[in-house]
Amino acid sequence: MRLATIASGSSGNCIYIGTEKRNILIDAGISLKRIETGLESLGLGVNDLDGILITHEHADHIGGLGVLLRKYEVPVYLTEGTYSEIKRKNLLGKVNDEYFQVIFPDTEFSLGDIKAESFSVSHDAAQPVVYRVTSNDHSAAVVTDLGVYDKDLAERLCGLDAVLLEANHDVRMLQTGPYPYPTKQRILGEKGHLSNESAARLLCDINSQRLKHVILGHISKINNYVELALETVRTEGRFSGCEADVVSAPSDRLSDIIEI
């Protein structure tokens, strides 16, 4: 299994996971052109995708999905709440409803040799989830857009080989930064985003000998520094005995490919 981020940040998110037999994206929050370019760099095209797994309906996670579905036939997996909100607000424009496959939170489903598990999370969206993907006893998870996490979620993320983990903001930078007060409170709240410190604590809770790759993603350009996020998470990780390689996901280009 291999993992790469095509984009990860407040302006757009799109993550690739694939095996020799199957290829999926988690979210499509960037332009179709950027998705096509990212896949081309991986030696693939959109027609090679077996599915797109959507975490929630915010624009930075579905911004390119409507255009993509008007050009390509790709199954889209999402929760009932997310699907209903997309339809209610007409967030994708006119697309073929047959492409959508509704899934239940906290369940698993298969796409060939890929098993995907969806976990409910706390975020200000209709019915948001994060995903754990497993193939041939190797697993990776994409864990972004959650204000808080609990013991149950941490337990479900144990035993990973790789994780894309949200480290959205530094609390002090956010508190003193330019955002309006209500926006700051939303981000800091239980349905907002994980701070560097919260990401570090979650990493400590899910750390294991199997975990070899940690990618910090969804890093704010306004309320964080990549170097600060890395230092915070790496420092806390060392205290918990984390031996994983901790790197950051580029916000605007394809990351290095991680082989799992």
pTM of the model: 0.96
Count of helix runs (H) and strand runs (E) in the chain: 9, 14
Q: Is 169 helix (H, G, I), strand (E, B) or coil?
A: strand
pLDDT at position 238 is: 87
Tens of pLDDT, residue by residue over 43-102, are 999 999 999 999 999 999 999 999 999 999 999 999 999 999 999 999 999 999 999 999
Pair 86, 99: CB distance under 8 Å: no
- Token pair recorded at residue 215: 């990618």
Tens of pLDDT, residue by residue over 178-212, are 999 999 999 999 999 999 999 999 999 999 889 99
In the chain, domain spans: 2-259
Say how far apart CA 151 and CA 153 lie, in whole Å: 6
Pair 40, 50: CB distance under 8 Å: no
Q: Please give the distance of CA 93 from its chain centroid, rounded to a whole number.
A: 23
pLDDT at position 240 is: 81
Which residue in the block uniquely carries the two structure tokens 């370019």?
37
Torsion of the alpha carbons at 93, 99, 105 and 109, rounded to the nearest 10: -160
pLDDT tops 90 at residue 241: no
pLDDT at position 107 is: 92
Say how far apart CA 209 and CA 30 lie, in whole Å: 34
CATH fold of the domain at 2-259: Metallo-beta-lactamase; Chain A (3.60.15)
Tens of pLDDT, residue by residue over 125-179, are 999 999 999 999 999 999 999 999 999 999 999 999 999 999 999 999 999 999 9
pLDDT at position 15 is: 98
Pair 187, 179: CB distance under 8 Å: yes
pLDDT at position 251 is: 84
